[in-house]
Amino acid sequence: MGTPNNTGGGEENGVMMKVVTGPGGYILQDVPHLTDYIPDLPTHPNPLRSNPAYSVVKQYFVHMDDTVPQKVVVHKDSPRGIHFRRAGPRQKVYFKSDDVSACIVTCGGLCPGLNTVIREIVHSLDYMYGVNKVLGIDGGYRGFYSKNTIRLTPKTVNDIHKRGGTILGTSRGGHDTSKIVDSIQDRGINQVYIIGGDGTQKGAAAIYKEVRRRGLKVAVAGIPKTIDNDIPVVDRSFGFDTAVEEAQRAINAAHVEAESAENGIGVVKLMGRYCGFIAQYATLASRDVDCCLIPESPFYLEGKGGLFEFVEKCLKENGHMVIVIAEGAGQELLAESGHANDEQDASGNKLLQDVGLWISQKIKDYFAKQRKMAITLKYIDPTYMIRAIPSNASDNVYCTLLAQSAVHGAMAGYTGFTSGLVHGRHTYIPFNRIIETQNKVVITDRMWARLLSSTNQPSFLGPNAIVEAKKEEPPETQLLDDDGANSGINIDGLLRCLRCS
Ligand SMILES: Nc1ncnc2c1ncn2[C@@H]1O[C@H](COP(=O)(O)OP(=O)(O)O)[C@@H](O)[C@H]1O
Ligand SMILES: O=P(O)(O)OC[C@H]1O[C@](O)(COP(=O)(O)O)[C@@H](O)[C@@H]1O
Ligand SMILES: [Mg+2]
């Protein structure tokens, strides 16, 4: 790599951006370091250097120039683009083991794997870095200033990964930045590990900013949690895989019920407040689903190309069907039919109407009143069952590595970062990239087209949207921007391409 130029960076989302550029359009969106605002901090050799398990590993320490590209599909003339700092242990650390006082907090909704992350942070700090002062914050952000802490040792957390939930407790709302940082200061904490979703990471960014404003030597590290998978940049958030797997049980039940009845319909509602990833992946995994409805893809009920027409077609052809619907889907239809809800939870998240119940009733009414046709519809809502469970094997590995990365990063003096997987590589991502947007299913992306091909459901784009979409030919290749927002909307075109290839 040529010598990069440190271009400093500006403020984004109220958090400092640290950008380094290099030849060929190379951009490193770097994470802050304690030395950015506390110069001349002493360094110490990484204790792993004398750890028999690691000292034999070739190139165990991450080279300071190692970075990971955000985009891996490129053209020969593409600029090298955005990169993130590679996660892992560094030769030098900025904390002496005895001086570290760490804390861990879990916030937001439950998610499989929370206990695995907690366990691994405690184990990594102790076994790799000889740190034994680790506090658990009780009950989410508000626990910083309203509750007692819990002493965490490798022994007390040894088998917690076998349990669902979080041994620390969690909550929504109650983020008071200044009180939280007061508590961090009063308790002499210098490493803060914050496990949570998009809301939590916004809270973590605010804590980092205040810590920095006060000039404290405190590393703030985030670990991305949410079964909804709505955190941007990272390949996936932990717990998602387990939730998709557990959702299969509900879909199987819906399929068995539907198949065993004449004109049987199984409706399964899955979590996904703002995005339909769980519904999408559960559908792709199951192959028993005939129709998947998500918040990102508007649909309509009546008339040509609508949901009722498709349900009738499925019943005629197969005698049964299964519908998977994400909880955030069709909210505009509910609002139109007078079921609007403007309420929010303590964190400011939308509280939703039960779209599963609503759509089940609509389907029943349609067949009874308009088609005079007998159907048997079973509605299954597994709700919390897909998240209140321990993580599966793949999420356990993922949680373990995310936690280890976070510990290596904090010990190396990095701060204001979320540890995350980017194209299968562990990285440190600056908070501002994590909190700038929410991850959504891109319905003009290949993945959604693959789902439509697999279920054979209509795209539910209304006549006007189809006219608009048809104006644009599909791009010659399906290379999309990261958010897919600039791609030509042409679901039919995408489907044609996929079916031909
Ligand atoms: N914009 C924000 N600034 C500071 N804290 C926030 C913000 N949004 C959410 N939080 C806090 O983060 C925590 C978790 O947020 P929530 O949205 O409930 O879950 P998740 O982090 O899983 O998305 C809550 O305690 C909430 O107060
Ligand atoms: O009833 P609760 O605990 O507020 O949780 C419900 C919501 O939590 C989620 O699982 C996501 O929560 P997070 O954003 O905290 O990960 C949504 O899918 C669901 O709507
Ligand atoms: Mg969230």
Average pLDDT of the residues of the chain: 90
Q: Is 173 in the pocket of ligand 1 (CB under 6 A)?
A: yes
Q: What is the DSSP letter of 353?
A: P
Q: What is the DSSP letter of 313?
A: H
Q: Long-range contacts for 457-462 (Cβ within 8 Å, ≥24 apart)?
A: 457/290, 457/291, 457/292, 457/310, 458/305, 458/310, 459/297, 459/491, 459/492, 459/495, 460/297, 460/298, 460/299, 460/300, 460/305, 460/306, 460/307, 461/491, 462/298, 462/300, 462/305
* Inter-residue contact 268 to 323 (CB < 8 Å): yes
Q: Alpha-carbon distance 88 to 83, whole Å? A: 16
Q: Is 323 annotated as a binding residue?
A: no
* Inter-residue contact 207 to 180 (CB < 8 Å): yes
* Inter-residue contact 52 to 134 (CB < 8 Å): no
* Domains of the chain from N-terminus onward: 19-236+399-434 (3.40.50.450), 240-389+443-470 (3.40.50.460)
284 CB contacts (<8 Å, ≥6 apart)?
450, 451, 454
State phi, psi for 471 to the nearest 5 degrees.
-60, -30
Number of the ligand 2 atom closest to the C-alpha atom of 387: 10
228 is catalytic: yes
Q: Is 206 in the pocket of ligand 1 (CB under 6 A)?
A: yes
* Inter-residue contact 326 to 270 (CB < 8 Å): yes
Q: Alpha-carbon distance 237 to 421, whole Å? A: 9
pLDDT in tens, 89-107: 999 999 999 999 999 999 9
Q: What is the pTM of this model?
A: 0.92
Q: What is the DSSP letter of 98?
A: G
Percentage of residues in the chain having pLDDT higher than 90? 82
Q: Is 384 annotated as a binding residue?
A: yes
Angstrom CA distances, 86 to 50, 64, 221, 328, 412, stand at 22, 9, 15, 35, 12
What is the residue with the minimal CA distance to atom 19 of ligand 1? 108
Residue 52: predicted pLDDT: 81
Minimum mean pLDDT range among 372-381, 400-409, 470-479: 470-479
Minimum mean pLDDT range among 76-85, 211-220, 342-351: 342-351
Q: What's the mean pLDDT in 229-233?
A: 95
Q: Alpha-carbon distance 288 to 315, whole Å? A: 14
Which ligand does the CA of 271 lie closest to? 2
Q: Which residue has the tokens 């366990």?
A: 119
pLDDT in tens, 386-421: 999 999 999 999 999 999 999 999 999 999 999 999
Q: How far is the CA of 408 from the centre of ligand 3 (A)?
A: 26
Q: How far is the CA of 9 from the centre of ligand 2 (A)?
A: 34
What is the residue with the minimal CA distance to atom 4 of ligand 2? 109
Among 138, 228, 230, 395, the active-site one is: 228
Scanning 231-354, the segments in alpha helix (DSSP H) are: 240-259, 277-286, 307-318, 331-336
Report the phi/psi class of residue 98: left, alpha or beta, with left for phi > 0 and alpha for psi in -120 to 50. Answer: alpha
Query: What three-state secondary structure class fits 194?
Result: strand
* Inter-residue contact 136 to 167 (CB < 8 Å): yes
* Inter-residue contact 226 to 237 (CB < 8 Å): yes
At residue 484, does pLDDT exceed 90? Answer: no
Q: Is 36 annotated as a binding residue?
A: no
Containing 376, the helix (H) or strand (E) segment is strand 376-380
What is the residue with the minimal CA distance to atom 5 of ligand 2? 109
Q: What's the mean pLDDT in 26-53?
A: 94
Residue 13: predicted pLDDT: 55
Q: How far is the CA of 249 from the centre of ligand 1 (A)?
A: 30
Q: Alpha-carbon distance 117 to 109, whole Å? A: 15
Angstrom CA distances, 378 to 198, 266, 368, stand at 34, 5, 15
Task: Retrieve residue 273's tokens.
Answer: 């407040």
Percentage of residues in the chain having pLDDT higher than 70? 89
At residue 262, does pLDDT exceed 90? Answer: yes
Q: Is 272 in the pocket of ligand 2 (CB under 6 A)?
A: yes
The radius of gyration of the chain from alpha carbons, rounded to an integer in Å, stands at 25
Q: Is 224 in the pocket of ligand 1 (CB under 6 A)?
A: no
* Inter-residue contact 322 to 288 (CB < 8 Å): yes
pLDDT higher for 2 or 142? 142
Q: Alpha-carbon distance 234 to 236, whole Å? A: 5
pLDDT category at 487 given cuts 50, 70, 90 is very low
Task: Retrieve residue 168's tokens.
Answer: 């620390």
What is the residue with the minimal CA distance to atom 20 of ligand 2? 273
Amino acid present at 271 = M
At residue 12, does pLDDT exceed 80? Answer: no
Residue 471: predicted pLDDT: 53
At residue 488, does pLDDT exceed 90? Answer: no
Mutation probe of ligand 2 site: the residue of 270, 273, 351, 386 with most atoms within 8 A of C-beta: 273
Number of the ligand 2 atom closest to the C-alpha atom of 352: 20
Which of 14-18, 207-211, 458-462 holds the top average pLDDT? 207-211
Q: How far is the CA of 107 from the centre of ligand 1 (A)?
A: 7
At residue 147, does pLDDT exceed 90? Answer: no
pLDDT higher for 177 or 481? 177
Q: How far is the CA of 139 from the centre of ligand 3 (A)?
A: 17
Closest CA to 168 of 205, 190, 204, 193: 193
